[in-house]
Structure 1
């Protein structure tokens, strides 16, 4: 309940700002709203309690496991599963609060994993960790939609990422294509969150975890032609940036828009890496490439281009914002780099300089100190990188740093003066 507003209602009635009837309606409205809103802290502790109870039971059983007969072991293996199902059924049938659903769902999630592991151990059922993770995740996926559980959705995403990393990076020669299926199974739930609760904390968490998961797992799909990793990541970050500019995400604060932040930051980091000539010398040595990795890069490019075209149709593209088009430019440079390593190196450095200046311009136009300093950091990082592959004297290097430092101070000071001037005009 909005306690501050409720406390002010008697004063508003006394001064004839609102009637007593209106005040009563406002109070009833906030009371009903408060009763429908689950206690977030209680939900968090409920989920944590379920995890701790489950882990505690596993540890107790593990300590005495060898003393039990096979029948008793089997009984213990299925007991958590039965308890979890009963709790979930009780939460649904009795229409319990969301806290009940979250806690019971998390308990059942870990009960499923524990039961599979114990049955496999008791009866020596062969298998590996990746198959175990895959079966566990798929069995628990319906619970996300049945309970509308945010905690289960997060666990699904985290465990799917662990599965993809273990399957792809550990094996080396196999790509975790089923990870994409697991991600698609979660997509309807995530899209519904974005549409119904775009500014909620849980949606912001997903706005960060989904792109982070894709960044972590993308390298696992490149198993044969390592040279394509750089290209696939630059396209992925370009896709993220343009997704962050979609109408449903663009109006969010930066801390809520993981796509925009990761897309921009990832693009800059990759450009800084590729601003060194040795990267393009490796690209120059590529003789040919084909296979599923090439298909993946093509699909990523088509999707990124499709999002950019959609932004154009919705008039959400700033024509002077190079971040929108950087993935297209770098893709073309990649093919130029197959024949020549000098031109891509020079152009990449120019692109970084333009991006830095562009970020400074956006920061000044929007009076945003964070974006302004981000642009200055890009330029500083570019200068710093050039210290490693140029023969400038230490005096010149020192002077450059002094100039950049003065630039930081001057631009921030001018911005601060403008902001104060605007505030003064508004007050007048």
Structure 2
């Protein structure tokens, strides 16, 4: 606790403003706050130091590797692994209460496992592909998350399995296709649940929200195989699920920058709606298989159906509490999945109308809450919609110019009126 707070606390005690018991609680609060800040700082520097040391060792080995004998190469291949295990053992036995030690040693061993696998494979010319290497590396390091209770290893694991999912399905498609990513993702679920229960407001939990949401968005497309055109249905439902998760009581009290699910959900829904607003998007049907029955029994369609059902359940759970009186347009957008099953029609006009309605509702909400950010978000959304139509229609340049001038004036007038209203209320 700083000297300034201590002196002020003494003055309050002398003036009988606070009791000795209250002063003791205040001292304890600031001491715990200061200790927590120091622990976080130690963890950050410890993790950075571990990463730099690991990378430095790899670079030294790589530079002199060809000049070493096979025995030396083998010994050096296992050396990082031994060092990492010693650090982890010391952390568990002597420093189990120190997050800095647990996180740093976990990072060292995580990279040591990967480097040892690669080096031994190189020494003995063991054949293999990147997918196998990544899977073995991640599976060997998964226990570290639970043994060391290491959240940074968990984040590295999420990064590794996401890259594995991309490499096994996007980068090498169609020669390779794998669904193991989803099983690997389940491996981290207990740790994430524990973070939500015990450290709901920690930075590591915040990073997990972002990493997990982003990983799911990136790898959901890996399920697309024979009927890839239906993947849009799955993404619309996934973004809707994210949107409802972001509106749960747990995330509602968070700052917007910490609510990754709400941000990804809302932006994802709007992105897909803007795609729907283009005529070329509807040129492809979800019936991209030899028969309708094959479409309905394809994995892509089944996943889309399950996600849509889950989105409908979350919609009911949220709005049943208010007797369905506070339903927003965004919450109903996932129902546009039905449009895909009506062949021969283009729904670009409907998509344009939905985006316009959302933009107007955001402007109204921003005006009602006296929030410039929300108001300008609605204006930006309408501007993006008009810009899309600029490249998608045959309107004359005069009409297009008038539209942009109108939107520009709208930006100016709405912001001016709101600022004027604020100044008037302050007076």
TM-score (norm 2): 0.91
1:340 aligns with 2:341: no
Q: CA deviation at 1:227?
A: 1.3
The 5-angstrom pairing of residues 100-249 of structure 1 reads: 100-173=101-174, 174-249=176-251
In 2, Cα distance between equivalents of 1:182 and 1:369: 43
Separation in 2 of the partners of 1:214 and 1:48? 27
Query: How many angstroms apart in 2 are the aligned matches of 1:144 and 1:334?
Result: 42
Q: String of CA shifts for 1:353-403, please: whole Å, max 9, x gaps.
A: 111112122222332222211111111111222222333222222221121
Distance 2:152 2:345 in 1: 50
Question: Partners of 2:339 and 2:77 in 1: how far apart?
Answer: 57
Asked whether 1:267 is paired with 2:269, we answer: yes
Q: Which of 302, 306, 309 matches 1:299?
A: 306
**SS of the residue 1:227 aligns to:** helix
Query: Is the CA contact 1:245–1:316 (under 8 Å) kept in the aligned structure 2?
Result: no
Q: Output the CA distance in 2 between the equivalents of 1:67 and 1:117.
A: 18
C-alpha change, 1:352 and 1:36, in structure 2 (3 Å) is closer
- Give the Cα separation in 1 of the matches to 2:275 and 2:380: 15
* CA offset digits 1:15-34 (Å, max 9, x no partner): 22013453244224432453
Whole-Å separation in 2 of the counterparts to 1:333 and 1:155: 40
Deviation at 1:140, TM superposition (A): 0.8
Asked whether the 8 Å contact 1:80–1:115 carries over to 2, the reply is yes
Please report how far the alpha carbon of residue 170 of structure 1 lies from its aligned counterpart in structure 2 after TM superposition. 2.0
Contact 1:247/1:316, CA 8 A, preserved across alignment: no
Aligned residue for 1:80?
80
**2:244/2:262 contact within 8 Å kept:** yes
Higher mean C-alpha displacement, 162-171 vs 402-411: 402-411
How far, CA to CA, are the matches of 1:420 and 1:381 in structure 2?
Answer: 30
Q: State the alpha-carbon separation in 2 of the partners of residues 2 and 138 from structure 1.
A: 46
Q: What do the CA deviations read for 1:321-341 (whole angstroms, capped 9, x no partner)?
A: 11111112x2011112x2322
Match in the other structure for 1:379: 382
Tell me: CA distance 1:166–1:392, structure 2 relative to 1, closer, same or farther (3 Å): same
Q: Which ranges of structure 2 fall in alignment gaps of 5 or more residues?
A: none
Q: Given the superposition, is the C-alpha separation of residues 101 and 285 from structure 1 closer, same or farther in structure 2, using an over 3 Å criterion?
A: closer
CA apart distance, 1:217? 1.5
Cα distance in 2 for residues equivalent to 1:185 and 1:199: 22
After superposition, the Cα gap between the structure-2 partners of 1:175 and 1:311, relative to the gap in structure 1 and judged at 3 Å, is: farther
2:394 aligned to 378, 382, 391, which one? 391
Q: Residue 254 of structure 1 aligns with which residue?
A: 256
What is the DSSP-based 3-state SS (H/G/I as helix, E as strand, rest coil) of the residue aligned with 2:284?
helix
Q: Per the alignment, do residues 278 and 103 of structure 1 end up closer, same or farther by CA in structure 2, a change over 3 Å counting?
A: same
- Shift of the alpha carbon at 1:414? 2.5
Q: Which moved more, 1:295-304 or 1:285-294?
A: 285-294
Aligned-residue CA RMSD (Å): 2.3
In the alignment, structure 1 residue 365 sits paired with structure 2 residue 368 = yes
Residue 404, structure 1, aligned to residue 407, structure 2? yes
The number of residue pairs the alignment matches comes to 420
Gaps (5+ residues) in structure 1? none
Q: Cα gap change, 1:3/1:258 in structure 2, threshold over 3 Å: closer, same or farther?
A: farther
Deviations 1:226-262 (A, max 9, x none): 3123222222211211111112112211111111111
Deviating more after overlay: 301-310 vs 256-265 = 301-310
Tell me the SS of whatever aligns to 1:64: helix
Assess if the C-alpha contact under 8 Å between 1:349 and 1:382 holds in 2: yes
Matched-pair contact (CA < 8 Å) for 1:38–1:98: no
Q: Which residue of structure 1 lines up, in the alignment, with residue 64 of structure 2?
A: 64
Range 196-205 or range 143-152, more displaced: 196-205
